[in-house]
Structure 1
Amino acid sequence: MSESNTANFTNPSTFILLGIPGLEASHVWISIPFCAMYTIAILGNFTILFIVKTEQSLHGPMYYFLCMLAVTDLVLSMATVPKMLSNFWFNSREINFSACLTQMYFIHCFSAMESGIFVALALDRYVAICDPLRHSSTLTNSVVAKIGLAVVLRSGILALPYPFLVRRWPYCRTNIIPHSYCDHISVVKLACADIQISSYYGLFVLFFVIGIDVPFIAVSYIQILRAIFSLPTKDARMKTFGTCGSHLCCILSFYLPEFFSSLIHRFGHKVPQHVFVLIANVYLLVPPMLHPIIYGVRTKQIRDRLLKLFTRKET
């Protein structure tokens, strides 16, 4: 082990990312699905942004929120996956201390932002289905902008303490992070100090975000489902439910991996380290890949615009 990994230091100049501990020999093979998911996420989310920008009929609240979701997914992917792949392909494990803190901030900030966007989408669907006559007057461009600003500010403020907490701890044992990116709890576990504040704050953010957002989303969709089942015909019920199905799929793909990743990291002491890291990677890789696919397939307006785009190219 090099001197930098064993010597005493308060703030190391660099951290060493191990990738997926215990599976180093398989990094090249693991990188293939990771790279494929990253490519699909980048292409898919840029496609969503392009379609909404170029199609005037999609300039509405739901599609503005979808654009916010696409930008959030792009930032989450680009903040983590390129460094991860360079580790897997070129054994480039070092990451600057400041770069590690920046990556950590982006991960936690945009994860909380994504949760807030799902709340905004649930609100949009609630108003559109339960009170359709007031949808355009309730969710004006000004209101949408204020909701977006509130989501961004909440996420930015909640994530701000993470890098400051990491910077305050002394690191006197090692600078090797047994992870593929700078996750907050993985970094602070390297500190030779009582890190309860960091651990408690991480749990506070998790339960604060999920405790506020998930009940709001759940109540919104309960009201939506009641409105759907009160519609007179089966065709009307299926058509209306179809507009919400994509949201529900995306919500599940986001919250379930995040919740299990956070809980296993803190309480699953008998779970192998590589399982921790793989679940954490699923949480960062899968939702950004699935969101544009789900919305592209299940949202008729986006699907029609996409088909028109490809048909025009063929002709």
Structure 2
Amino acid sequence: NSTRLDHFTLLGFPGLHPQYYGPVSAVMFVVYLGIVFGNIFILAFVMYEKNIQKPTYLIFCHLALNDLTFGTLTLPKIIAKYWFDSSLLSFYGCFAQMFFVHYLGSVQSFNLMVMALDRLMSICIPLRYSAFISNPVVSGLCGIAWLIPLPVMMVTVFDALSLPFCKSNVIAQCYCDHISIVSQACSDRVPSVTLKALSLAMFCLLLPLVFIIFSYTSIFAVILKMSNAVGRRKSLSTCTPQIFVTCLFYLPRCFVYIATSTGFSFSLDFRIFIVLLYSLIPAAVNPLIYCFKTQDIKKCLFMKLQRARIGIEMRRSRE
């Protein structure tokens, strides 16, 4: 016997004692504020500063928009659960959240591939860089990165929607994802739906990852061959922000997949914590990486701070 559920309940951290609801939700709220203000700052700063509207920084904008959207679609609901005891999500609302969670993760993966391509062209064939990479080209590539996962994720969602649900309506997670939803279905099609979704997810994650590894391997090979130490340091410094951002996105995911495939089991609370770690921490940390590890943005910020300080001193001297 199967019934169509009308809502799902977010469990959050199942082992969390009520006395810790306040501190945990406060931490998540601070993380959300960091995501919102940090990524809006990057978007506004690049849009306002014409002299840094270059291909690399346009890619940063796409990454920032992705991080901002992901945080806004996931964190407010789990914060509301702990603040206002509001843990219910409508049936289709949960599926919509699942779609955006996996879609935005896939878009981020393809945008990181575009970023790796940008660095590959810049360092390996610098004389041809401007001929191949420009603002319109990067905008087009990032647009494709937003389009490719769209049909893939729609197939994943419609496959899950076609399943009958007769188990618990509790989502053992802080947001709706494919594994948590499909585990509540009762059908002999569940294994095939899960395998198909996993295959599509691997396409969206591993295909860009293979290109990213190839790109940075080629970049390091070129850097090591440079005879000029200053040139090596400069080339490496231009890749540092991209490498940090890429590692924050991929390393925790790879850890979870490898551990799961080798039979290593996590407690439910630890699994939820790891998922939140690789989903939300990069979104909050990335703006700091862009600002303090990117020379153009850092230089621009220091100049503005210097002008502001001089302006304050001039006003004080007039008074």
Q: Which residue of 1 aligns with 2:219?
A: 224
TM alignment of 1:4-43, pairs within 5 A: 10-25=3-18, 26-43=20-37
Match status 1:258 vs 2:253: yes
Task: Return the letter of the residue paired with 1:10.
Answer: T
Within 2, Cα distance between the matches of 1:201 and 1:16? 26
**1:284 alignment partner, one of 279, 283, 289:** 279
The answer for the alignment partner of 1:64 in structure 2 is 58
Opposite residue 251 of structure 2, the aligned amino acid is L
Match of 2:238 among 243, 265, 278: 243
1:226 positional shift: 1.8
| One-letter amino acid of the structure 2 residue matched with residue 16 of structure 1 | T
Q: What residue in structure 2 maps to residue 301 of structure 1?
A: 296
User: Is it true that 1:188 corresponds to 2:176 in the alignment?
Assistant: no
Q: How does 1:156-195 map to 2 (within 5 A)?
A: 156-194=150-188, 195=190
Question: Does the aligned pair in 2 maintain the 1:69–1:114 contact within 8 Å?
Answer: yes
Deviation of 1:169 (Å): 1.2
Aligned-pair distance for 1:83? 0.4
Query: Does the CA contact (< 8 Å) of 1:185 and 1:198 recur in 2?
Result: no
TM-score (norm 2): 0.91
Q: Quick one: percent identity of the two aligned structures?
A: 31
Aligned counterparts of 2:193 and 2:304: Cα–Cα separation in 1: 49
> Match of 1:32, as an amino acid?
A
Taking the aligned partners of 1:273 and 1:264, their CA distance within structure 2 comes to 14
Structure 2 CA distance, aligned partners of 1:300 and 1:273?
Answer: 41
2:300 aligned partner, one-letter code: R
Letter paired with 1:168 = S
CA shift at 1:252, angstroms? 0.8
Distance 1:12 1:24, change over 3 A: farther
Between 1:109-118 and 1:281-290, the stretch displaced more is: 281-290
Q: 1:223 to 1:263 in 2, by over 3 A?
A: closer
Out of 105, 130, 137, the residue aligned to residue 111 of structure 1 is 105
Given residue 28 of structure 2, which amino acid in structure 1 is its aligned partner? F
User: What is the distance in 1 between the residues matched to 2:204 and 2:17?
Assistant: 34
Single out whichever of 107-116 and 224-233 deviates more from structure 2.
224-233
Offset of residue 82 of structure 1: 0.5
Q: Over residues 264-311 of structure 1, what are the superposed CA-to-partner deviations in whole Å (9 max), with x where a residue is unaligned?
A: 678767421111111111122111011111111100111122233344
Deviations 1:157-211 (A, max 9, x none): 2211232122111111221111111011111101111311231123212321233
Could you tell me which amino acid in structure 1 is paired with residue 133 of structure 2? L
State the superposition RMSD in angstroms: 1.9
- Give the 3 Å change call, closer, same or farther, for CA 79–261 of structure 1 in structure 2: farther
Distance 1:224 1:93, change over 3 A: same
Aligned positions, number: 308
Change in CA separation of 1:261 and 1:87 when aligned onto 2, cut-off 3 Å? farther
CA distance in 1 between partners of 2:167 and 2:11 (Å): 16
Unaligned runs of at least 5 residues, structure 2: 313-319
Match of 2:79 among 63, 77, 85: 85
In structure 2, distance between residues paired with 1:100 and 1:11: 13
DSSP-derived class of the 1:182 partner: coil
Larger radius of gyration: 2
